[in-house]
Amino acid sequence: MKSKIIEKLGRTDILLPSLIADGLSANDRVKVRLGVLQAAGRRARSPDSTHFDLMEECRAAGIDPVTMESVVNHASLSSDETVASPGLDKLEAAIWDDVATMAQAVKAGDAAQGDAALSRLSALKTGFSQEAADTIEFAQIARLASIANDSDDSLHRLVMDLHKALNRLTIEHAEEVLAGAHVYGLRPEDRPAVEAFMRGVESTRALKFDHPGLATTATRSDNHLTIQNDIGETDAHVVVITVERDAVTVTYTDVHRARAKFFADLFRDFAFQWSGLDRKSAEGLDDGGAFYLITGRCPTNSDDRRHAVLEAVGAALVFLIDWNKARKALRTWISKSEAIHVLDWGARNRFGHRAFLEMGGVELIASAVRHAAPSRIGFGERLEDVLGRAAAVDFLKSVLCISAEVLLQGHSIRAARDRIEAELARNLQRADTALLATVIRQAGLARDIAVAIAHFVSEMQAKRPFDQAALAVRARRIEEKADRIALEVRSEIARLDADAHIERLSAGVEDAIDELEQAAFVASLVPNTLTAETLEPLSHVCAAAVTGAEATAAGLAAAVDIPEGHRIDADDALAAVGRLVEAEHDADAAERAITTVILRGGFDLTTSLSVLDLARSIERATDKFAGVGHLLRAHVLANLSA
């Protein structure tokens, strides 16, 4: 069927090696059949003295020896000049067909010589009866099997001439294996192009696993190199690449229109100009004989560019094998367009989909759902309805990746199933991740208050006027906003039955905000006559609070990505925990320094109480941040162990 499609595309040059082989096989057959015909004639004249001795020759030529023996053993004289035997008509027809096969093979490689041979064949058939009579004259046997004199032609002489022509074509188109491709008649400048194409094929061949396909043939024809790959076993699934000095042209046929479009889209990084998807027909195909044809031409102005295009085409072919089967499997869980998007991602990232199918396809995912989320994903429910479109697509990309990695590394299917179940669980935890992102907003609000208090102290150090009452009002509004966020977090955690760690993290940040809001309130009451010896340690405790809020936000932000498997984010989160502990220690030291200054400095009661309360409120906020750090550390370690 593939050969018929290639002929329909007008690319018989790529079939020449197989046609030559067919012609040589026909030569072997016709010689044996002519021998059988002569043996039948001898048997008819001398029934007692002739026995059949062509058994081995028949077997070697692929002819049924029993049938041939029957033709010889039943041969008799129907008249003085005529031999009769059941099967003679079929034997004679097979002889003509064999010679015609040889002539057509020669024509494929040398049109002029082939046409001349076909004309000789037509002339030789003149005078032979075309009726199925199971008889033949002795004179006709002689005309078929003997070599005529120099002035006459004979079938035997034509066979000899065709055999010489086929041998010449065989030499000119001798088979060689080049980088895994079967090549014929290449010029030296063709070899790098074939090698580039095969580099692409070999770079992804392993991703077809045990599926047959990807055999490559290449031949030189006139002014171009032609490369053909069988892709897989599907009828009408053919790719023919024509390589010229200034362009690479890809002709592709497929029974699936969507797959043909997918194939063309794989080369969007190259300057291919694609024809429309033309609908063709051919007898013998499924679906009413319909298939689709697309042709793409990519200009190439250098050897490097030409080889890059060929390598890309070769590497892409494995992703067409069982493509429609994989698309149907993915459509069970996501939409049609997203299924194609996942397959495109798998191809462009060199994972493919064959491993996914090898490991069970739909059942592989269904098993993960049964084990990882039996209560959250119901029977027949699409993943995108539960996880959301983006999360469902990301999960299925991971399935393709894991399947390929596990099979390529020779690990057990059980290992893949475990990883896929864990990946599904991580995607279900994305709701938890979204909640964690909300806690980051809380930490940002805490920083806003801490920075405002630090700015107040800085302005006092510079002896610039500052609206202390506005500071308290602003802090109060921020604290109210943070309270609303905390209530939303608690509500979502209860609704989704999310990780309890997140609620505790939110509560810890909320407590820190409360302490900072209290500090802002106290700051609004502090006398504006504070001296440098009190303001200096106050600035240190404020700096510790700002650091604590920033480290909390940074640690939470890093923790958000840990379920995605980013180990560096776990390291960042744990480093933030370390900064929180240091900030808490710095705040303790600064708060004690303030206490020392106040208790030894003989300050008035208002100044002493307000400064001490301000420092202690800020220090308590750093304690809360440190507590959040310990919770964050536990959360990170839990995710890593999972």
Q: How far apart are CA 609 and CA 104, in angstroms?
A: 111
Average pLDDT over residues 429-433: 67
Q: Compute the distance between CA of residue 97 and CA of residue 217 in angstroms, rounded to an integer.
A: 27
- Helix (H) or strand (E) segment spanning residue 449: helix 430-461
Give the β-pairing of 224-229 and 216-221: antiparallel
CA distance 177 to 206: 20
- Segment 295-303 shows an average pLDDT of 91
Nearest to 524 by CA among 469, 584, 484: 469
Which phi and psi (to 5°) does residue 43 adopt?
Answer: -65, -40
Res 627: pLDDT: 93
**Any bridge partners for residue 85, and if so which?**
none
Q: H-helix or E-strand containing 83? A: strand 82-84
Amino acid at 635: H
Q: How does pLDDT run across 75-133, given as a tens digit for each residue?
A: 888 777 888 888 888 888 899 999 999 998 888 777 888 889 999 888 888 867 666 67
Do strands 224-229 and 238-243 pair parallel, antiparallel, or not at all (unpaired)? antiparallel
Residue 511 structure tokens: 């407590």
Judged against a pLDDT cut of 90, whether residue 165 lies above it is answered with no
Summarize pLDDT for 494-552 with one digit per residue, the tens: 655 566 788 899 999 999 999 999 999 999 999 988 889 999 999 999 999 999 999 99
Question: Do 70 and 88 form a contact (C-beta atoms < 8 A)?
Answer: no
Across the chain, what does the average pLDDT equal?
85
Residue scoring higher pLDDT (40 or 288): 40
User: What is the tally of helices (H) and strands (E) in the chain?
Assistant: 24, 12
pLDDT of residue 564 exceeding 60: no
Instruction: Give residue 535's Cα distance to chain centre.
Output: 63
- Per-residue model confidence (pLDDT) at position 550: 94
pLDDT per residue as tens digits for the range 61-78: 888 888 988 888 888 887
Beta bridge partners of 176: 183
pLDDT single digits (tens) 307-340: 999 999 999 999 999 999 999 999 988 889 999 9
Give pLDDT tens digits for 593-628: 999 999 998 889 989 999 999 999 999 999 999 999
Q: Which pLDDT band holds residue 1 (cuts at 50, 70, 90)?
A: very low
Long-range CB contact pairs, 71-74, < 8 A, 24+: 71/36, 71/40, 72/36, 72/39, 72/40, 72/43, 73/43
The closest alpha carbon to 207, from 346, 399, 338, belongs to 346
Q: What confidence score (pLDDT) does residue 56 get?
A: 80
**Amino acid present at 41:** G
Domain boundaries of the chain, sorted by first residue: 11-172, 176-321, 335-428, 430-641
Cross-strand pairs, 280: 291
Mean pLDDT of 149-175: 78
Average pLDDT over residues 282-305: 75
- Chain Cα centroid distance, residue 200: 14
| Beta carbons within 10 angstroms of residue 410's beta carbon | 6
pLDDT tens digits, 239-267? 888 898 899 999 888 888 899 899 999 99
User: Where residue 149 falls among pLDDT bands split at 50, 70, 90?
Assistant: low
What is the arithmetic mean of pLDDT over 344-362?
Answer: 93
**pLDDT at site 375:** 60
Please answer whether residues 87 and 70 qualify as being in contact, where contact means their C-beta atoms are separated by less than 8 angstroms. yes
pLDDT band, residue 4 (cuts 50/70/90) = low
Distance CA 470, CA 476 (A): 10
Residue 84 has phi, psi (to 5 degrees) of: -125, 140
Checking if the pLDDT of 10 tops 60, the result is no
Residue keyed to tokens 């303030």: 594
Candidates 3.40.390.30, 1.10.10.10, 1.20.58.220, 3.30.590.20; CATH matching 430-641: 1.20.58.220
**Residue whose pair of structure tokens reads 């400048």 in the numeric block:** 189
Between the CA atoms of 151, 153, 159 and 162, what dihedral angle is there, to the nearest 10 degrees?
70
User: In whole angstroms, how far apart are CA 404 and each of 100, 231, 349, 400, 408?
Assistant: 50, 19, 11, 6, 6
What's the pTM? 0.55
Angle at 135 between CA 132 and CA 140, to 5 degrees: 110
